[in-house]
Amino acid sequence: MKKIIELLNLEVMEAFEKAGYEKEYGAVTLSNRSDLCQYQCNGALAAAKKYKKAPIMIANEVLSILEKSSTFKEIKAIMPGFINIILQDSFLADYLNGMKNAEQFGVEKTKQPLKIVIDYGGPNVAKPLHVGHLRSAIIGESIKRIAKFAGHEVIGDVHLGDWGLQMGLIITELKKRTPDLVYFDDTFTGEYPEEPPFTISELEEIYPFANAYSKEHPEYREEAMNATFLLQSGKPGYMALWNHILNVSISDLKKNYEKLNVEFDLWKKESDAQPYIPDMVQYLKDHNYARISEGALVVDVKEETDTKEIPPCMILKSDGATLYNTTDLATIVERKKLFAPDAILYVVDKRQELYFEQIFRCAKKTKLIDETVNLTFLGFGTMNGKDGKPFKTRDGGVMRLEKLIQEITDAVYEKVMSNREMDQQEAREIAGKVGLAAIKYGDLSNQASKDYIFDLERFTSFEGNTGPYILYTIVRIKSILNKYQTEVGKINQDTQILGADSDSERELMLALVKFNEMIENAYSENAPHKVCQYIYDLSNAFSRFYHDTKIITENNKVKQNSWISLICLTEDILNTCIDLLGLEAPERM
């Protein structure tokens, strides 16, 4: 189904061509003066220069062709040559009926589906998720859902950090506390226990303690580095402990991501890339892509056109040890082998832009990945407190994500209970959905690359551009439809939407027809905030229509049925949009 702007473009372009001008001048855009018109064409102004004719004359010639069209209710040429367009109400209604009956409301799936890998997790195992992990997870999840809706094959990968010094620190501290564990007995040849020797709570206490202790005691850090080396060399007892750490951590991570309504297709790890490293390093040496610099193996990635310094990409340190660079390049090799993707997107803190620039250049220059594969860095800004600094707890620590979710859910619960009497369990379930909407919409409604202020009071408000307001709009529609079915009768899904009866109904229709174009833009720009802006505008348009229209008490049944059909479409599109954001509306609030 063509977007409404495409239909207008076709008609106006054809009119320009019939009038003797190049059809490209007939491009139509949304009006920037909605008080004057709905759409506009400024092509006559551009054409005037080429055809050496007054733009108003060109506009009037085009109008003489268009004024008999059933598409336009009003079309005017305004000095010095603007063409202002107001659509015929019946044309708008017909388009909405087409959306209502079409799959995905007329959004056509791409004819050239891509295979896209999105890397949007990145937590380290053995550590709890904190607020710093929030943006990557929810932005990546929304981008994944939008790309799937557009018709692409999308693979979401959590890409866990599980192979670095933190593993050696945990193993070293465990050995210090419980030296008699079988994992530290080099003579042991039996099966290692299936049950881990620690809980997730104990694990989350061990790592920060060991990390802090290692900074004060060099010999302890040296021991941890040696434990990391032994683990990476395949020491059986350490490998068994590492597996316990993974199992306990991943089980806990899955619970936390589930609370965020974030899902991964792959739970791949840094360690999964290790088998690819030896061959990759040898390949870089054999093809003279890498050179030795001060004992380290590096690849030069600077280009002549660079205006800033781009350091070489280090592959191996002088002692032969690998780095994150090595692992990330090997992960690209792994993804190429396993999935042959057309694109890989990294949803990462924008402060890592230079690092990923090095990685991408290195991968392309050395032909580890084909030139045609699109490697994209989607850098996001920081989530800040009201002081403008990165969000912290009241005592200045980094807040656990679990605690943040609980704080917001509790705040919403208090609001729900203060407005009406409700069963506590139902109120908790509602608060869970609304609280999650407050967090995720509060984040996603901002352009991802920008920093934003986390404002608990504003995000949990049921008014303004917030998640709770969007959900409240959906719940209000549900309430109207339930009341209609109770007091009037069954909803007829085949009822046609008629031409608008009022300005507010027309504005709601105009908001709905922008859905297809919004989806296209949100996908092409990797921009969930465009979905948020759309549903906020749509919710406002519905609210104005609702306040102006007595739907349930309307005596004209034909008109009433049309309105019911219109708000059913509104609810369906709002529900589709919040699903793209990873949200869900309750039945009531």
- The answer to whether 451 touches 382, Cβ cutoff 8 Å, is yes
Give me the long-range contacts of 289-295 (CB less than 8 A, separation at least 24). Answer: 289/365, 289/366, 290/315, 294/318, 295/319
Domain end call among 202, 226, 259: 259
* pLDDT tens-digit map of 365-390: 999 999 999 999 999 999 998 888 88
* pLDDT tens-digit map of 39-98: 999 999 999 999 999 999 999 999 999 998 999 999 999 999 999 999 999 999 999 999
Give me the long-range contacts of 53-61 (CB less than 8 A, separation at least 24). Answer: 54/80, 54/81, 55/80, 55/81, 56/80, 56/81, 58/19, 58/21, 59/83, 61/19, 61/20
pLDDT cut 90: percent of the chain above it:
91
Nearest to 416, CA basis, from 436, 430, 437, 433? 430
Distances (CA, A) of 519 to 49, 166, 192, 526: 35, 42, 52, 10
3-state secondary structure string across 257-303: HHHCCCCCCECCEHHHHHHHHHHHHHHHHHCCCCEEECCEEEECCCC
Query: In which residue are the tokens 């509060």 written?
Result: 442
Question: Is 486 a domain residue?
Answer: yes
Residue 394: predicted pLDDT = 67
Question: Is 133 a domain residue?
Answer: no
Residues 6 or more apart whose Cβ sits within 8 Å of residue 376: 343, 344, 345, 346, 526
Question: Is 339 a domain residue?
Answer: yes
Domain harbouring 75, CATH code: 3.30.1360.70
- Are 367 and 433 in the same domain? no
- The answer to whether 535 touches 574, Cβ cutoff 8 Å, is yes
Domain end call among 41, 72, 87: 87
* pLDDT tens-digit map of 330-360: 999 999 999 999 999 999 999 999 999 999 9
Q: How far is 410 from 401, CA to CA, in rounded Å?
A: 14
Query: In which residue are the tokens 């710093």 written?
Result: 132
Residue 265: predicted pLDDT = 97
**What is the β-pairing status of strands 343-349 and 115-119?**
parallel
Which tokens in the block code for residue 564? 């019911």
Residue 397: predicted pLDDT = 72
- Are 278 and 366 in the same domain? yes
- Are 476 and 563 in the same domain? yes
Distances (CA, A) of 37 to 45, 125, 352: 18, 56, 45
3-state secondary structure string across 29-79: EECCCCCCCCEEECHHHHHHHHHCCCHHHHHHHHHHHHCCCCCEEEEEEEC
Does 420 score more than 70 pLDDT?
yes
The whole-number average pLDDT for the span 124-144 is 93
- Are 228 and 324 in the same domain? no
Q: Is 86 exposed, middle or buried (0-12, 13-18, 19+ CB in 10 A)?
A: middle
Question: Is 71 a domain residue?
Answer: yes
Which tokens in the block code for residue 466? 């917030």
CA angle 187, 188, 192 (to 5 degrees): 160
Q: Is 180 exposed, middle or buried (0-12, 13-18, 19+ CB in 10 A)?
A: exposed
Residue 389: predicted pLDDT = 87
- Are 283 and 239 in the same domain? no
Question: Is 293 a domain residue?
Answer: yes
Nearest to 456, CA basis, from 444, 471, 446, 466? 466
Residue 419: predicted pLDDT = 74
- Are 456 and 568 in the same domain? yes
Domain enclosing residue 559, as ranges: 401-580
- The answer to whether 551 touches 558, Cβ cutoff 8 Å, is no
Task: Count the neighbouring beta carbons within 10 Å of the beta carbon of residue 483.
Answer: 12
- Mapping DSSP to helix (H, G, I), strand (E, B) and coil, where does residue 398 land? coil
Query: In which residue are the tokens 């350091």 written?
Result: 311
- The answer to whether 528 touches 139, Cβ cutoff 8 Å, is yes
Residue 239: predicted pLDDT = 97
Domain end call among 233, 259, 285: 259
- Mapping DSSP to helix (H, G, I), strand (E, B) and coil, where does residue 126 land? coil
- The answer to whether 231 touches 167, Cβ cutoff 8 Å, is yes
- Are 174 and 303 in the same domain? no
Question: Is 441 a domain residue?
Answer: yes
Question: Is 445 a domain residue?
Answer: yes
The whole-number average pLDDT for the span 181-203 is 95
* pLDDT tens-digit map of 500-539: 999 999 999 999 999 999 999 999 999 999 999 999 999 9
Question: Is 37 a domain residue?
Answer: yes
Which tokens in the block code for residue 208? 């920060």
Residue type, 424: Q
Residue 398: predicted pLDDT = 78
- Are 284 and 433 in the same domain? no
CA angle 569, 571, 575 (to 5 degrees): 120
Does 396 score more than 80 pLDDT?
no
- Are 249 and 292 in the same domain? no
The whole-number average pLDDT for the span 408-425 is 88
CA angle 125, 130, 135 (to 5 degrees): 105
Average pLDDT, the chain: 95
Q: Is 98 exposed, middle or buried (0-12, 13-18, 19+ CB in 10 A)?
A: middle
- Are 523 and 414 in the same domain? yes
Q: How far is 260 from 82, CA to CA, in rounded Å?
A: 48
Does 395 score more than 80 pLDDT?
no
Query: How many domains in the chain?
Result: 4
For the entire predicted model, the pTM comes to 0.95
The whole-number average pLDDT for the span 540-562 is 97
Q: How far is 7 from 41, CA to CA, in rounded Å?
A: 13
Mean pLDDT lowest among 131-135, 217-221, 359-363, 394-398: 394-398
Distances (CA, A) of 369 to 116, 157, 241, 254, 341: 14, 18, 34, 31, 10
Does 321 score more than 90 pLDDT?
no
- Are 297 and 354 in the same domain? yes
Q: How far is 36 from 227, CA to CA, in rounded Å?
A: 72
Q: How far is 206 from 198, CA to CA, in rounded Å?
A: 10
Q: How far is 68 from 72, CA to CA, in rounded Å?
A: 8
Domain harbouring 513, CATH code: 1.10.730.10
C-alpha 286: how far from chain center: 40
- Are 440 and 568 in the same domain? yes
